[in-house]
Amino acid sequence: MLLLSNGGLISDERMTKGKILVVDDEENIRGSLLNVLSDEGYDVSLAGDGEEALRMVRSVAPDLVLLDIWIPGIDGIQTLEILKNFSSETEVIMMSGHGAIDTAVKATKLGAFDFIEKPFSLDSILKTISSALSYRREKKPGGEEFDHDILIDNWFAGLSLPIKETRASIKTTSTRDDPVLISGASGLGKEIAARLIHKKSVKRDYPFVKIACRLLDEESFDSALFSGARENKNGAAGGGDESGFEKAGEGAIFFDRIDKLSLKLQRRLLKALTSGVVKLHGKLEKLEFKSRIFASCGEIEDNGSRKRGLAKGLREYFVTSTLRIEPLSSRRQDIPELTRKFTRDFSFKYDKSIETVDSNFIKALKRSSLPGQTQELYNIIELAVLACEGDTLTGEHIIIAGQGRMMNDVRMIKPDNQPAPGQKAVTARGKKKNFQPQRTIGASVVLCGEGLHSGLKTGLILSPLPPGSGIVFWDIGSGRRLPAIFENIRSTEYATTLSDGEVTIKTVEHIMSALHSYQITNLLVKIGDEAPVMDGSAIDFCQIIENGGVKEQGDIIEQIVIDRRISVGDPQGGPYLSVEPSDEFSIHYYLDYPSPIGKQEHRYVYESGAHYKETIAPARTFGFLRDIKTLEEAGLAIGGKLSNVILIDSEKVINTPLRFPNEPARHKILDLIGDLYLLGRPIKGRFTARKSGHTQNAELVVKIKENLKNQKREKNRYAIGR
- Residue 410 pLDDT exceeds 80: no
- Specify the pLDDT at position 234: 32
The 10 Å Cβ neighbour count of residue 150 is 13
Q: What pLDDT does 253 receive?
A: 92
Q: What pLDDT was estimated at residue 399? A: 64
Radius of gyration of the CA atoms of the chain, in A: 31
**Single-letter residue type at 145:** E
Does position 406 have pLDDT exceeding 50, yes or no? no
pLDDT score for 86: 66
CA 140 – CA 63 distance, rounded (Å): 11
The Cα 665–Cα 683 span in angstroms is 21
Q: Which amino acid is at 614?
A: E
Higher per-residue confidence, 16 vs 79: 79
Q: Is the pLDDT of residue 6 over 50?
A: no
**Tens digit of each residue's pLDDT (9 = 90 or more) over 165-178:** 999 999 999 999 99
Average confidence score pLDDT of the chain: 79
- At residue 230, does pLDDT exceed 70? no
Name the band, by pLDDT with cuts 50, 70 and 90, for residue 441.
Answer: very high
- 3-state per-residue secondary structure call for 289-340: CCCEEEEEECCECCCCCCECCCCHHHHHHCCCCEEECCCHHHCHHHHHHHHH
Question: Which residue of the set 198, 453, 667, 694 is catalytic?
Answer: 694
Q: 452: pLDDT confidence band, cut at 50, 70 and 90?
A: low
What are the structural domains of the chain?
2-139 (3.40.50.2300), 149-326 (3.40.50.300), 332-417 (1.10.8.60), 435-712 (3.30.1700.10)
pLDDT band at 440 (very low <50, low <70, confident <90, very high): very high
Tens of pLDDT, residues 360-403:
888 888 877 676 688 878 878 877 887 787 888 887 777 655 54
Nearest CA among 72, 69, 53 for reference residue 61: 53
Whether pLDDT at 308 is above 70? no
Q: What is the DSSP letter of 231?
A: B
Range ranked top by mean pLDDT from 111-125, 605-619, 644-658: 605-619
DSSP for 10-59 reads E--TT--S-EEEEE-S-HHHHHHHHHHHHHTT-EEEEESSHHHHHHHHHH
pLDDT class for 448, splitting at 50, 70, 90?
Answer: confident
Letter for the amino acid at 21? Answer: L
**Rounded-to-integer distance, Cα 129 and Cα 47, Å:** 18
Catalytic (active site) residue 98 = no
In a 3-state reduction of DSSP, which class is residue 357?
Answer: strand
**pLDDT value at residue 644:** 66
pLDDT, tens digit, 9 for 90 and up, residues 641-657: 555 677 888 778 887 88
Identify the three-state secondary structure at position 560: strand
Strand order in the sheet with 208-212: 208-212, 252-256, 292-297, 180-183, 322-324
The dihedral formed by the CA atoms of 420, 422, 428 and 434, expressed in degrees to the nearest 10: 130
